[in-house]
Chains A and B, each alone.
Chain A
Amino acid sequence: MSSEHVAHHSRAAGVDQGRASTAASDVSGSARDAGRSSRKPDSRTAVILSDADIRRTIDRIAHQILESIGDRPALLVGIPRRGVPLARRLAARMAQFSPGNYPVGALDITLYRDDLRGRPPRALAETDLPQTGVDGLVVVLVDDVLYSGRTIRAAMDALRDHGRPAAIRLAVLVDRGHRQLPIRADYVGKNIPTAFDDDVAVHLTEIDGFDAVTVERAA
């Protein structure tokens, strides 16, 4: 859990910028996007995790999840878009390390967002949870970037409407700090100290054609 970088720039607007910056079509016309286009693309962009780093990180998180769930029935739930392929990769690695059945689901949180007002309509993404419900399962939420924490709060609200899991855990590839809610991750790939207006981008082969985590520093 990242404690080395405490959020000093809590933003009244409460927009989950982490999601906004990783989903290209999510928010249009924000000041940040406008600013980005005028920047030189190479000077401030750094690769934080390479494809090999991501592979190792997923392996480590897979081991950690296996260790903590023990014999209890678990369900990996990816939050679209990039949480879903991450959850599938984790399940595949878990199956390799400890043969068993690790089901994967998807949970779209758009209808639970707290910032729908005053914005253009958003496309909904896929939801796919077991017909048998989530009661009694250890649900591991999987997302690419943990930022304000609002997405995770929405996901927990949504899960509550689906049933009563035995426990909810959170796995993220990147924790960039700046929480606006008292939420932390149980499994973190990498803590990346950022300024609140830096742009963290996770690229995954399934969606983007290559694996990398980059940070573009704000001007």
Chain B
Amino acid sequence: MTSLATGTGPATAPGSVGAALETVSAATNDGYADLPRHLLAASDLSREAAIAVLDTAERIDQAIAGREVRKLPTLRGRTVVNLFYEDSTRTRISFELAAKRLSADVINFSAKGSSVSKGESLKDTALTLQAMGADAVVIRHSASGAPHRLAGWVAGTVINAGDGTHEHPTQALLDAFTLRRHLLGGAVRDRVGNGLDARHVVIVGDILHSRVARSNVTLLHALGARVTLVAPPTLLPVGVDEWPCSVSYDLDAALAGADAAMMLRVQKERMDGAFFPTAREYTRGYGLDLRRRALIAPHGIVMHPGPMNRGMEIAPAVADGEGSVVTEQVANGVTVRMAVLYLLVSGEGADRV
């Protein structure tokens, strides 16, 4: 930097907090203007908008790193409603923590034991929330498309926390954030502004029922990554050949040299249709054991959205082994959801489409 060249003393160079303060480069990414009003699907995000979310998460992480007070005042006075029609302790807690760390008021509304169990429709529930002045509604629903309908009924921002077998965009964002951290270099300046171009991610397991896979394929493709899906033929959705990814039935071949393996949970609660003969046969064909782990590139990572079926899709030694980022994904989930809430809710009412 020219300034330091002219200013550095001959005897003592000035100290710096980090290894080297990054150049404060112009934040000219226009993804911020490109952010959607609601986050309903991964396809709502352009490459630039997705990078804007990931960059914001990096900055939020910097802003609260090593602090005593891990709370920011950004959403003070705002109300975020967690509307969960489907059990999901992990996702709900992650959103709740994200909203609370931004000082929002959080209301948890779960279908069990609420007016929903008395037969209230989604629309009536939405209008109730609207009347209570919710600035954002985070919705998890077993019906694909429910968040989309909700967005038409409420004035606040709607964030999809998983709808049926359709989409789970914040999971895809936290996965992309985790991938970027491990594959793009250790310094924030190596990552900010960048996608995942030419990185190879293998997603393995129950693609048919997985909203995580669906959102990840869309987002990773937008970020420039190459995605390979591996699954038994019975667990691939119709029309998967039109997704922007390749499909394989041979896990060993797909893993060779890959940058990341993302193992999906075998969703026992959706396995009423006998999709594979036995659990052991599934593990033999599509489980990640130590032998297969060694096929991934040396710098490669192992991911799982949780909760894991240890011994089924992932061997315990792999889940707890080197390059497993499963718990890191959970921590990153809070940061990425803070970024989404900040970007979509803090300027609520702004003039944008």
Interface of A with B (CB < 8 Å)? 25, 75, 80-81, 84-85, 88-89, 91-97, 99-106, 108, 111-112, 116-131, 133, 157-158, 161-163, 204-207
Contact = CB atoms under 8 A, between A and B. Distances in A.
Contact of A92 (B9, B18, B22, B28): B9
A9 B190 CA distance: 44
B24 A81 contact: yes
A206 B8 contact: no
27 contacts: A75-B17, A84-B21, A88-B7, A89-B4, A91-B14, A93-B9, A95-B12, A95-B13, A99-B12, A101-B12, A102-B15, A103-B14, A111-B72, A116-B346, A116-B347, A117-B347, A119-B347, A119-B350, A120-B350, A121-B342, A123-B52, A124-B63, A126-B188, A128-B22, A128-B62, A161-B67, A163-B68
Interface of chain B, main secondary structure: loop
Nearest to A114: B73
Q: Which 3 A-B pairs rank lowest in CB-CB distance, beginning with the nearest?
A: A92-B7, A96-B9, A124-B59
Contacts of A104: 14-17, 21
B273 interface: no
B2 interface: yes
Interface of B: 1-4, 7-18, 21-24, 26-29, 32-33, 35, 52, 55-56, 59-60, 62-63, 65-69, 71-74, 188, 342-344, 346-352
Contacts of B12: 95, 99-101
Contact of A124 (B33, B56, B68): B56
Q: Which of B4, B29, B188, B346 has the most CB of A within 10 A?
A: B346
A134 B24 CA distance: 22
Given A75-B17, A88-B3, A118-B350, 7 more contacts: A103-B14, A118-B348, A126-B21, A128-B18, A130-B17, A161-B69, A162-B67
B27 A123 contact: yes
Given A123-B52, A207-B24, A92 B15 contact: no
B61 to A, nearest CB: 9
A102 B63 CA distance: 21
B8 A103 contact: no
Contacts, number: 167
A121 B22 CA distance: 23
B122 to A, nearest CB: 28
Contacts of B27: 25, 123, 125
Contact of B342 (A91, A111, A119): A111
Contacts of B56: 123-124
B14 A128 contact: no
Contact of B15 (A91, A123, A131, A205): A91
Contacts of A120: 32-33, 347, 350-352
B65 to A, nearest CB: 8
Contacts of A80: 24
B17 A105 contact: yes
A133 B348 contact: no
B28 to A, nearest CB: 7
Contacts of B11: 95, 99
Contacts of B13: 92, 95
A207 B24 CA distance: 8
Given A88-B21, A111-B74, A123-B56, A206 B2 contact: yes
A118 B352 CA distance: 10
Nearest to A93: B7
A130 B21 CA distance: 12
A112 B102 CA distance: 10
A188 B179 CA distance: 45
Max chain A C-beta neighbours (<10 A), residue from B13, B29, B71 = B13
Most chain A CB atoms below 10 A, which of B22, B27, B71, B342:
B27
Contacts of A101: 12, 14-15
Given A104-B15, A120-B352, A121-B342, A88 B4 contact: yes
